[in-house]
């Protein structure tokens, strides 16, 4: 009986608060931003976005509220990127650079994802921070986006059913899921492999139903999204380093006063370093976890990996010839990489 009375009092009290809100309760936020991403809950990406949300809401004194929509609940990455550009359904997001390139129609943004462009994390970081950040920020601005920080998906490799990948000929046995971007499609063409372009939200079902026999993605996303379930092999080709980016709708961003704009952007360099570290700290653990999930990890030799690099170098040549503004920027990137490698 006492429990019923207490429950009734709680309900009455809640109703009273709803009808007569406290004068001391926090005022409604001036700006509300819906923030979309394919990042599943419990991943370093989701954790980073949660921290961005907490920081912005705290530093703005509640003037800005961010609502996070994780795990592609707002659609595929390309669809969400287009929503951010319009600034209506979504006002910001965290996406792979390939998806932003496709959704925002900025082909130049695909440069970091050219096959075998980078050999190490340090090379990728240097190029993204010192060569590409400014021109990419300007290109995004022209298309209605504000670049807040780089993030990271990581090194992509091939996950397949039935047999592993050591050579391009091995890969040609499969129908592979391809990300929705030109560079990824050209890579599969160069490897003479049938590719099916699908948004990431449809890949698991496509694997389970036989629409595709494999995919390429990072160890973290492969496990976080459950893509390991239908495969037996994960072959470490490490053929593409894939950055990600935190972006805001320029339409939304421009409505905020300068002090809130500064808070929303935060410290791009520190945010980039944090995002990269969160992903990289898990790599050894993730690779060690594959056998427990029923997936055999296949480490390629340097010579085997070089065959893939040689076969896909044509993608870089095509990109430089076909994409406006790509050749001088790509020349600058390659010159910096050559210098760092002591060549």
User: In the chain, what percentage of residues exceed pLDDT 90?
Assistant: 90
Q: How confident is the model at residue 20 (pLDDT cuts 50, 70, 90)?
A: very low
Residue 82 to residue 187: CA distance in whole angstroms: 24
> What's the pLDDT at 28?
85
Asked if the model's pLDDT at residue 341 lies above 70, the reply is yes
Of 41-45, 219-223, 335-339, the one with minimum mean pLDDT is 41-45
Average pLDDT value for the chain: 91
**Rounded (10°) angle between helices 44-59 and 268-280:** 150
Q: Please state the pTM of the whole predicted model.
A: 0.88
Name the maximum alpha-carbon separation found in the chain: 83
Residue 225: partners with Cβ closer than 8 Å, 6 or more residues away: 40, 200, 203, 204, 217
Strand 296-299 vs strand 175-178: parallel, antiparallel, or unpaired? unpaired
pLDDT tens per residue across span 263-312: 999 999 999 999 999 999 999 999 999 999 999 999 999 999 999 999 99
Question: Distances from the Cα of 304 to the Cαs of 194, 235, 341, in angstroms?
Answer: 21, 11, 21
Residue 93: strand, helix, or coil: strand
State how far the Cα of 201 lies from the Cα of 198, in Å rounded to an integer.
8
Distance of alpha carbon 215 from alpha carbon 203, whole angstroms: 8
List pLDDT tens digits, range 193-233: 999 999 988 999 999 999 999 999 999 999 999 999 999 99
Q: How far apart are CA 195 and CA 181, in angstroms?
A: 12
Cα dihedral 179→183→188→189 (10° resolution) = 130
pLDDT at residue 27 greater than cutoff 90: no
Beta-carbon contacts of 173 under 8 Å, excluding residues fewer than 6 positions away, are 163, 213
Nearest to 56 by CA among 197, 194, 195, 256: 256
Alpha helices in the chain (DSSP H): 2-19, 44-59, 77-86, 97-103, 121-127, 133-142, 168-171, 182-190, 203-209, 219-224, 250-253, 258-265, 268-280, 283-289, 302-322, 326-340
Query: At residue 41, does pLDDT exceed 80?
Result: yes
pLDDT digits (tens, 9 = 90+) for 75-113: 999 999 999 999 999 999 999 999 999 999 999 999 999
Going 115 to 119 to 122 to 126, the CA torsion angle's sign is negative
Whether 144 and 225 have beta carbons less than 8 Å apart is answered as no
CATH topology of domain 29-340: D-Maltodextrin-Binding Protein; domain 2 (3.40.190)
| Contact of 95 with 59, CB cutoff 8 Å | no
Mean pLDDT for the stretch of residues 117-131: 97
Is the pLDDT at 328 greater than 90, yes or no?
yes
Residue 243 scores a pLDDT above 90: yes
The pLDDT, as a whole number, for residue 3 is: 38
CB atoms within 10 A of CB 137: 17
């Amino acid at each position: 009986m006492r429990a019923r009375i207490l429950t009734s009092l709680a309900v009455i009290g809640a109703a009273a608060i709803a009808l007569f809100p406290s004068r001391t309760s926090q005022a409604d936020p001036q700006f509300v931003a819906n923030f979309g991403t394919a990042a599943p809950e419990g991943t370093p990406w989701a954790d980073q976005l949660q921290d961005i949300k907490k920081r912005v809401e705290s530093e703005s004194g509640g003037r800005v509220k961010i609502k996070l929509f994780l795990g592609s609940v707002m659609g595929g990455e390309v669809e969400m990127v287009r929503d951010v550009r319009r600034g209506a359904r979504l006002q910001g997001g965290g996406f792979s650079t390939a998806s932003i390139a496709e959704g925002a129609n900025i082909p130049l943004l695909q440069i970091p994802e050219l096959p075998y462009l980078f050999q190490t994390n340090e090379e990728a970081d240097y190029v993204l921070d010192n060569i590409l950040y400014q021109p990419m920020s300007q290109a995004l601005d022209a298309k209605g986006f504000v670049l807040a920080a780089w993030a990271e998906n990581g090194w992509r490799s091939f996950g397949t059913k039935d047999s592993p990948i050591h050579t391009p000929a091995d890969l040609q046995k499969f129908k592979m899921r391809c990300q929705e971007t030109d560079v990824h499609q050209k890579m599969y063409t160069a490897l003479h492999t049938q590719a099916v372009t699908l948004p990431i939200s449809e890949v698991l079902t496509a694997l389970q139903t036989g629409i595709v026999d494999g995919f390429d993605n990072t160890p973290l996303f492969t496990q976080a999204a459950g893509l390991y379930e239908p495969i037996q092999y994960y072959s470490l080709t490490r053929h593409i380093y894939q950055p990600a980016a935190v972006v805001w709708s320029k339409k939304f961003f421009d409505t905020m006063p300068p002090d809130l704009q500064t808070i929303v952007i935060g410290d791009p360099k520190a945010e980039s370093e944090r995002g990269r570290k969160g992903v990289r700290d898990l790599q050894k653990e993730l690779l060690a976890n594959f056998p427990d999930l029923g997936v055999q990890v296949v480490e390629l030799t340097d010579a085997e990996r070089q065959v893939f690099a040689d076969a896909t170098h044509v993608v870089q040549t095509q990109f430089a010839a076909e994409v406006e503004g790509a050749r001088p920027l790509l020349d600058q990137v390659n010159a910096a990489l050559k210098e760092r490698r002591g060549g």
